[in-house]
Structure 1
């Protein structure tokens, strides 16, 4: 099993027993039949050894792995095995658990390549939130719209389709996850959504690929600075899905310096456009501007080490003060497109700075990301190898805002609900 860059140096230790079982060379493999069962076993070992969230009480993990293992054993080749692995990963409802390489007809990655959040409510499939400035937003889709069909499939059948044969009977939560995948379409090609609007009108929306749109956003500046409020003196700093770009450190420094020089009386840190996560250097650099003391911001736990050696490993990460310091009122906005390191910044701002957090459930990208390259199937696996927590012990994915607001990106009338709430609270203060 060949390793790529890992989110944690400890993973190298975990693979030693597996590494001893050297995979056949390419020439050897070409001379022998592909062993689908062995390829699946390699994948399952990675999950059981490294995935921090394999112990679950919301799904029957053992039943799922048994079902997928039986299907994989009958697969005719590597591509078929990878497809079963990919769909099995989706059953965990974790955008950080991904198996590639991808096919064009695989569903777009949520929430990076997504502009809609959806779930079932009282038996109806409904849009929960719409990413601002997206194709869906521009087309007029709004929270509360009922999804009648996706690409001519009834909503419930469309929600089951991403899992295929590996999950014939999804749970309610899996149906919700599948629905979000379905309405955001596949990696390549358009999507057709039949919706019932709030006024009862039934309309069909033809929307382009969310992946193509997400790719088009890569040329944005790392950080956006704007001013809002009745007097235009409230600075809004928004990292634009740039938390994995170390240039964001200096860009945020400069943006905050400019905000302070312009006389900002309050800062709104808008984390709602960070679906792809990032790295802790960028995260800690941002939080450090809002504390004047060294403070803890996030707790890490590495279950793989305890599984391997029976010795638990847990540690707390700290932020250090960083110039320029801003000591005025700070509000942190978050929602479904706040992912991974974005989620870490939200809980870190709550823990280390006393800022007021406002928003909905976040992206729920579970844990700190590790990567594996599988030799037998040629698959790449991304998974959360470190479980992450607020310093008070709350799992990051269970964090609830100081001021809960749903939807967090787009209200039914198209306005910005959490930005309005931040300004309301600031004037009240």
Structure 2
């Protein structure tokens, strides 16, 4: 029987950068007889009970599971079976839904292991954004460039390779998700991408996309800066590190003499936990405020009794009373997304963001004992307090790209400084 972490406990889990580092289970190497049929049934039962986003309007879930089952039950061993489950998860275009353990034939986990966001339209693939400070950014890759190939494979083929034989007719969303995986490359391996820019071909070689994440992990939890009377706090993918709580306290105290503040969440692809998120929001509220709504579909599926609750935050010192702007983007993931909508809902922050990473729901981990695989998936649906699903949230100032624009400048920070300049001039 599969062992699932309680969905409620999952609220306090760190999101998927750590899942991406799953180590192979001893069971995957065991000598016991492997029954692919039983292993599939275990996977499907757990998926249908716990995955909060199992009912989808963009894909035929039952048809996809049927295609996957037809291949999975023929798997001669756990490794091939696990690969089929992994590819099945990818078809849902949800970075929170992954199946490991992983090996070097798997693609990098996005958004943590990515530095280029893609956009598919009209049969072509283009760069939608470039992660600030990444190798792709330093190589001069910019939004708007057409992506021709990834590692020698034409993009129309490269974009469906991550799915193996499971997607005979991919949707545009699935093509784009596959393209994101393709340009991110295989795990811990360098990449060569070909672009068309102003009618000319450009070939650019890039290191493994995880290299940036490793350097960020070795650096400070956050950085502070000032622009005149405006304080700036940028969080460096540390929302799952409880040491960020006192570090953020100190940052707010150090900027207490400023008149306005920007919280930059564009570098939080791996999500985090609610303790850290609540501690951050607490600096910007003066009384108990609601910041996020949760639903747990598995309880209604199993017991016919729905569970829906509102998470709240209490004030925390030091308090900050000036205007607040929050920045998000395609590398704002999971708890980072929750913090954007939470600061909007509870603190009245002005939000500036492109589409965010769309990591669906609150993460849980399930060990699949019959195959030795581990499944990470969203077991709760999450909403803004106004009822908007987190993945459908649109910022007060929506942007096409948040990290870099076509000229290589920082569009979100520029917009934030201009907005706060107007606010302060009018105060």
Tell me whether the two structures share a fold, i.e. TM-score over 0.5: yes
Q: TM-score, length-normalised on structure 2?
A: 0.93
- Contact kept in structure 2, 1:7 and 1:371, CA below 8 Å: no
Report whether the alignment pairs 1:233 with 2:229: yes
Instruction: Work out whether residues 105 and 188 of structure 1, in 8 Å CA contact, stay in contact via their aligned partners in 2.
Output: no
Calculate the TM-score normalised by the size of structure 1. 0.92
SS of the residue aligned with 1:165? coil
Q: Which residue of 1 aligns with 2:17?
A: none
Measure how far apart 1:264 and its partner are. 1.0
- Secondary structure at the residue paired with 1:181? helix
Equivalent pairs counted in the alignment come to: 408
The equivalent residue for 2:19 is: none
In 1, Cα distance between equivalents of 2:51 and 2:64: 15
Let me know the Cα RMSD of the aligned residues: 1.6
Cα distance in 1 for partners of 2:193, 2:30 equals 44
- Structure 1 residue 119 displacement after superposition: 1.8
Cα distance in 1, alignment partners of residues 2 and 81 from structure 2: 18
Residue 166 of structure 1 aligns to a residue in which SS?
coil
Poorly superposed stretches of 4+, deviation over 4 Å: 4-7, 29-32
Q: Measured at CA, do residues 302 and 7 of structure 1 come closer, stay the same or move farther in structure 2, by a change above 3 Å?
A: closer
Q: Is the 8 Å Cα contact of residues 105 and 187 (structure 1) preserved in structure 2?
A: yes
Determine if contact 2:185/2:208 at 8 Å carries over to the other structure: yes
Question: Over residues 290-312 of structure 1, what are the superposed CA-to-partner deviations in whole Å (9 max), with x where a residue is unaligned?
Answer: 11011100000000000000000
Going from structure 1 to structure 2, the CA distance change for 1:296 and 1:336 (only over 3 Å counts) comes to: same
Q: How does 1:334-349 map to 2 (within 5 A)?
A: 334-349=328-343
- Measured in 2, the distance between the counterparts of 1:5 and 1:46 equals 12
Residues 48, 315 of structure 1: alpha-carbon distance in 2 compared, 3 angstrom cutoff: same
State the partner residue of 1:210.
Answer: 209
Indicate which of 317, 323, 328 corresponds to 1:329.
323
Shift of 1:123: 2.1
Q: Which residue of 1 aligns with 2:308?
A: 314
Contact 1:148 1:154 in 2 (8 A): yes
Asked if 1:92 corresponds to 2:92, the answer is: yes
Q: Which secondary structure does the structure 2 equivalent of 1:315 belong to? A: strand
Tell me the distance in 2 between the aligned counterparts of 1:2 and 1:155. 38
Tell me, in whole angstroms, the C-alpha distance in 2 between the residues paired with 1:112 and 1:7.
23
Deviation at 1:227, TM superposition (A): 1.2
- Name the SS of the counterpart of 1:268 in structure 2: strand
* Deviation readout 1:103-129 (Å, 9 max, x if unpaired): 112010100111010021222210000
* Structure 1 position 48, deviation (Å): 0.3
In the superposition, relative to structure 1, how do residues 43 and 136 fare at CA in structure 2: closer, same or farther (>3 Å)? same
Residue number in structure 1 paired with 2:174: 174
Contact 1:343 1:362 in 2 (8 A): yes
Deviations 1:400-429 (A, max 9, x none): 001111101101111000110111111222
Q: Distance in 1 between matches of 2:82 and 2:10?
A: 26
Change (3 A) 1:233 1:312: same
Q: Is the 8 A contact 1:160 1:168 kept in 2?
A: no
Which of residues 355, 369, 385 is equivalent to 1:375?
A: 369
Question: 2:2 touches 2:42 (CA, 8 Å); kept in 1?
Answer: no
Identify the residue that residue 124 of structure 2 maps to in structure 1. 124
How has the CA–CA distance of structure 1 residues 207 and 309 changed in structure 2, closer, same or farther, with 3 Å as cutoff?
same
Partner of 1:412: 406
Match of 2:23? none
Task: Report deviation, 1:213.
Answer: 2.8
1:136-155 → structure 2 map (5 Å cutoff): 136-155=136-155
CA distance in 2, matches of 1:178, 1:43: 23
Distance 2:31 2:217 in 1: 43
Deviations 1:238-287 (A, max 9, x none): 11100000000000000010011xx2111001010000000000001101
Deviation at 1:9, TM superposition (A): 4.3
